[in-house]
Structure 1
Amino acid sequence: MSEWLTTDVSGNSMQCFATGEHGQNGVIIAMHAPGIDESMQELAGWTADAGLQSITPDLYHRQPDDGSTGLEKMANLQDDEVLTDLRSARMLLEARGAQQIAVIGFCMGGRIAYLQAASDHSMKCAVVFYGGNIMKPWGDNPTPFSRTSEIGCPILGLFGGEDTNPSPKDVASIDAELVKHDKVHEFHSYSDAGHAFMNSMRPSYREESGRDAWSKCVAWLNKHF
């Protein structure tokens, strides 16, 4: 089951892609840079297959539909606005019966999931799929990395060993920062994979690693719900 929902965010209409049946456990999915495309809808469907409802908010809703690429739109995002959008997504899940909510994200969404874990302590856990730019600010806001001490839930990180953003060095730095602040976390890297290895619509897709990463994601969610 999937449907498009519309919610109001600070006077703007935000579209959200919803999957799964109304129920106790829900997942906010932070989209990748291209937006809520076929790949993101497929991944949201996997969440429903795991017995969890999900909401994927369109984080570009404040920007005009002028043909700009996802990367161009991503450059205009502000962390404070993104967090407002995720708050609205959480409220939608709550309205659909969710009492326990987690956040997962892919690509730029992985960065957002990390930030959400530090910002909204109602999250039961977070899953970061190859989140780049965790050490960079969006707008006049602190970086997600600098907010590591504020993280309030367990974090699972799933990365490609051949990725450049985040690079293995970046992943090691994030891991060390989480250890420094005594945050519950678990990181896995796949040596055969680069960025977007979960995206079955792109040559970067690595089916075996992607399936393994997804099974780890579902197990993490079920463990912490």
Structure 2
Amino acid sequence: MQNQQDFDSLVGKSKLSDGVDRRTFIQTAVGVGFAAAAMPVMAQTMIKTDTVGLTAGVVMVEVNGQKVPVYRAQPEGKTNLPVVLVISEIFGVHEHIADVARRFAKLGYLALAPELFVRQGDPSKYPNIGELIKEVVSKVPDAQVMSDLDAVVAWAKANGGNTNKLAITGFCWGGRITWMYSAHNPNVKAGAAWYGRLVGDPTPLSPTNPVDIAAGLKTPILGLYGLKDTGISQESIAQMTAALSKGSSKSTFKVYADSGHAFHADYRPSYVEADAKDGWMRCLAWFKENGVV
């Protein structure tokens, strides 16, 4: 497990001026800028990982006639790489998600962050979270997401990735998808779910939730959650823990007493540096423990 000094050396903090015009953060390209609904951006705590020694940028993966943009980062010129899927928050594949992919690439992974909202809309265009959820996120079927991720895994296998060493991690919306895709694809060897929703009422687009698939889950998932998260109750974590106990996945939770939701998001006011770093190190150790390295 890396120590704090190693982490700081790896990713380095970007010293952007507090006076930067927030509009400069809003872009439409995958892996660039931030959605309007994600504002305000906290420039002083943002982490920036360079591309030295990496091949990084957007590739297109076709799924049933739809081209899905995927931010790809990997060590330059390397093959037979362990693969990690990086699943975004509701804000889509913006600069923070791309940076997380580069962090994994610096450690030897082929990291792939697909834009899973591409059919429903551009998350960067919506001015607030309510509209973004209503107009885009709520219209994304789980089945579509599973199909897109299957295609991304197939792309990885054909392009230098060792999908026998497949991991997944995701944040918020992507945290829920981390649980769901791990149940969908038994080839996933390990997952790290950051504050993803665990329970909920079934809908036509999301007929099941993590608590419903927990007993049959085989993949070991590390759940990284905040005690102060007002959207994800400790009761729901207890429900999930009880459901997991009926199966054999060896999943576990780490709940941070001083954190709420989105404590890993270094570009948002919710960021808790100590817990984000600890969670990142636990994620890496979890992947290593389960053979994804």
**CA 117–134 in structure 1, closer or farther in 2 if over 3 Å, else same:** farther
Query: In the comparison of the two structures, how many residue pairs are matched?
Result: 225
Residue 149 of structure 1 deviates from its aligned partner by 2.5
The alignment status of 1:75 with 2:138, answered yes or no, reads yes
Residue 136 of structure 1 deviates from its aligned partner by 4.1
Q: 2:194 aligns with which of 129, 150, 157?
A: 129
Q: 1:211 aligns with which of 265, 277, 281?
A: 277
Alignment of 1:41-120 (within 5 A): 41-65=98-122, 67-68=125-126, 70-72=132-134, 73-99=136-162, 100-120=165-185
Does structure 1 retain, via aligned residues, the 8 Å contact 2:96–2:265?
yes
Gaps of 5+ in 2: 1-53
Gaps of 5+ in 1: none
The alignment status of 1:201 with 2:267, answered yes or no, reads yes
> What's 1:7 paired with?
61
Does structure 2 retain, via aligned residues, the 8 Å contact 1:111–1:134?
no
Residue 89 of structure 1 deviates from its aligned partner by 1.3
Does structure 2 retain, via aligned residues, the 8 Å contact 1:154–1:185?
yes
Could you tell me how far apart the structure 1 residues matched to 2:252 and 2:178 are? 15
Residue 224 of structure 1 deviates from its aligned partner by 1.1
Does structure 1 retain, via aligned residues, the 8 Å contact 2:81–2:108?
no
Q: Percent sequence identity over matched residues? A: 28
Residue 150 of structure 1 deviates from its aligned partner by 2.6
Residue 24 of structure 1 deviates from its aligned partner by 2.7
**CA 114–136 in structure 1, closer or farther in 2 if over 3 Å, else same:** farther
The alignment status of 1:189 with 2:255, answered yes or no, reads yes
Does structure 2 retain, via aligned residues, the 8 Å contact 1:136–1:144?
no
Larger Rg: 2
TM-score (norm 1): 0.93
Does structure 1 retain, via aligned residues, the 8 Å contact 2:198–2:240?
no
- For 1:163, the aligned partner's letter is D
TM-score (norm 2): 0.73
- For 2:109, the aligned partner's letter is L
Residue 133 of structure 1 deviates from its aligned partner by 4.9
Does structure 2 retain, via aligned residues, the 8 Å contact 1:80–1:141?
no
Could you tell me how far apart the structure 1 residues matched to 2:263 and 2:68 are? 28
